[in-house]
Amino acid sequence: FYTAFLEQVPEDDELRFKAALGWARVADLHNQLGESSTAQEARKKAISILEQLHQEHPNETRFELHLAHTVTQLGEWAHWHLY
């Protein structure tokens, strides 16, 4: 149910931001369940939304901060699982 809701990317920037945070949370939950592949797909969806928001609003620091944090999490996962 939760992911079906998140698949609907709204036009409103605030709702898009909340959807990105939702995808990041879904990624965290999948990580806790040991489903790292599914987690990283969810994290990539969050990154995609956050990148769009950051491009559209480069001076909005919360978009940039959450984008940086989410990309860092993806990088940490890659480091521990690929090396």
User: 77: pLDDT confidence band, cut at 50, 70 and 90?
Assistant: confident
- Return the pLDDT at 48: 96
| Residue range 1-43, pLDDT digits in tens | 456 665 666 678 998 999 999 999 999 999 999 998 999 999 9
DSSP-assigned letter for residue 74: H
Sign of the CA dihedral running 75, 77, 81, 83:
positive
